[in-house]
Every structure is written in structure tokens, then in C-alpha cells.
Amino acid sequence: MDGGGAYNPRTVEEVFRDFKGRRNGMIKALTTDVHDFRRLCDPEKENLCLYGLPNEQWEVNLPAEEVPPEIPEPVLGINFARNGMVEKDWLSLVAVHSDAWLLAVAFFFGSRFGFDKADRKRLFNMMNELPSVFEVVTGTAKKQSKEKSSVSNNSSNRSKSNSKRGGSEPRPKYSKAEPKEEEEEEEDDDEQGETECGACGENYAENEFWICCDLCESWFHGKCVKITPARAEHIKQYKCPSCSNNKRGRS
């Protein structure tokens, strides 16, 4: 269930990297890959679990047969409630259990390799900087991001003509050749740091391709929504997976 054999992260950074990969995989399952996830959660099958893998992939599978398992197991039977709940409530419930499992796995590794109080605190702080799976799936992380960005005066006046672009800038940025006051530079840097991907919830980083939904105006990593810079050039109006799903649901 580890996506490539035994994997034992031993340092705080390695455990955090493992946590981040598994988290991103579970977020994909519950957002961009939600149709595949729902299809695999067949209520007619036995107890199924959602596994996040260190390589940012996911799988729905039966629990490990070995006792005790190599690492803590996710919650069992997520498939049984699929047809008995409203879909968003079912996904939210799976997301809550996913957050609990991710923390359990991270601190399992921490205990196994003797992390002391300082290491455990540093690990938790690193994980806590990221929105939880539940916050991403329910849109809470997106709302928090909008509340932060509302403090900036310039954010509401951005032109929609810049909604699709590649390179390293999810928000407009002045070139070095243009004169700019120091206060403007700091404000623009703050805006970029506050930009969060609507799929995985991670903040803006340099040298990444981002795309903005023309309906909800949320930003996404191209890799999270499977859009390349070349493909974006031919998209007149981009709709994120959530907006596309909502439109299909109303038709």
C-alpha cells in the first residue's frame, strides 16, 4: 500500500515529504479524480480503504492482511456509505478520516525513529502550514485564502485577461526594468505568497505553471488539473473541475 515497496522516512524532512505526497494523492482522489474514486467505492464490495501514496497517487483497496500492519491503516468501509449519503457529505467524511490517517502515519514514523519533543513539534508545525484534506475538499481553504487576499487593495482590480499564463507567476508581476516603489514590491510579494491552489491547497512557488478558473476565479497548479501551458493557449474560457461538475449537475 506504499506505492513502490517498503519506504521508511527517518528525518523530519523525509516524514514531511511522505506526508505531503500522501496528502496530495488523497486530495486528488476527492477532487480532480472524484468520478474515478466514486466508481471504485462499490458498496457491493468488501471493506475498502482510501490510501494516499508517497508519490502523490492514490488507490482504493482492501486493508492489509498482515497483523499488525506495516503502517497504520486508513478507516475501513468508506464504500458502504457511498449511496446512503449526499455526495459532498460523503466526501467530507472521507476527508476527515483521511486527515486522521495522515497524522497517524506521520507520527508513527516519528515514534519509530525516535523523534524527540522538538522534532515532533517541528513536524506538526510543518504539516499544520498546509490546509487539511477536509479544508480543501469542502472549500474552506479557498475561503480562507480569499479572506486573506481581500486585505490587499489591488487584488480585486486584476484583469481577467491575465487568467491563463505559464512560467513562474500566478499573479501579475512587474519586470525589473520598470521602476517600482519598495512598498509596492512588498505588497506584490505578499499577494503571491497568499495564492493557494484550489486543488491541493499549497501556496504559490516559483517556476510553476498556474491557471485561473474564469467562473470562480480560483487558481490551480496546471499539474493538479491536468492542463499544460501549451493546452492553455487554446482554451478561451477555462472552467475548473468543480465548476464543470456543478454545471453538469444542473443540466
Per-residue model confidence as pLDDT tens for the chain (251 residues): 554 445 567 899 999 999 999 999 999 999 999 999 999 999 999 999 999 999 999 999 999 888 888 899 999 999 999 999 999 999 999 999 999 999 999 999 999 999 999 999 999 999 999 999 999 999 987 766 665 555 444 444 444 444 455 544 444 433 333 444 444 555 555 555 567 888 888 887 777 888 998 888 888 888 888 888 888 888 888 888 888 776 555 54
CATH number for the domain spanning 222: value is 3.30.40.10
- Of the three residues 79, 114, 144, the one that is the final residue of a domain is 144
The pLDDT value recorded for residue 91 is 96
Beta strands in 40-152 (DSSP E): 49-52, 58-61
For residues 30 and 131, membership in a common domain is answered with yes
For residues 35 and 124, membership in a common domain is answered with yes
Instruction: Answer yes or no: is 201 within a domain.
Output: yes
Full domain range(s) for residue 235: 197-250
Instruction: Answer yes or no: is 160 within a domain.
Output: no
Question: Over the stretch 39-55, which tens digit does the pLDDT of each residue have?
Answer: 999 999 999 999 999 99
Domain count, the chain: 2
Phi, psi (deg, nearest 5) at residue 165: -160, 160
For residues 123 and 232, membership in a common domain is answered with no
Q: In the 8-state DSSP scheme, what is residue 162?
A: G
Instruction: Answer yes or no: is 37 within a domain.
Output: yes
Phi, psi (deg, nearest 5) at residue 51: -105, 130
The packing angle between helices 182-194 and 140-149, to 10°, is 170
- Of the three residues 144, 161, 186, the one that is the final residue of a domain is 144
- Of the three residues 144, 166, 188, the one that is the final residue of a domain is 144
For residues 122 and 221, membership in a common domain is answered with no
b/e per residue 50-73 (b: at least 16 CB within 10 A): bbbbbebbbbbeebeeeeeeebeb
Instruction: Answer yes or no: is 46 within a domain.
Output: yes
Question: Over the stretch 132-149, which tens digit does the pLDDT of each residue have?
Answer: 999 999 998 776 666 555
Is pTM beyond 0.85? Reply is no
Instruction: Answer yes or no: is 157 within a domain.
Output: no
Instruction: Answer yes or no: is 1 within a domain.
Output: no
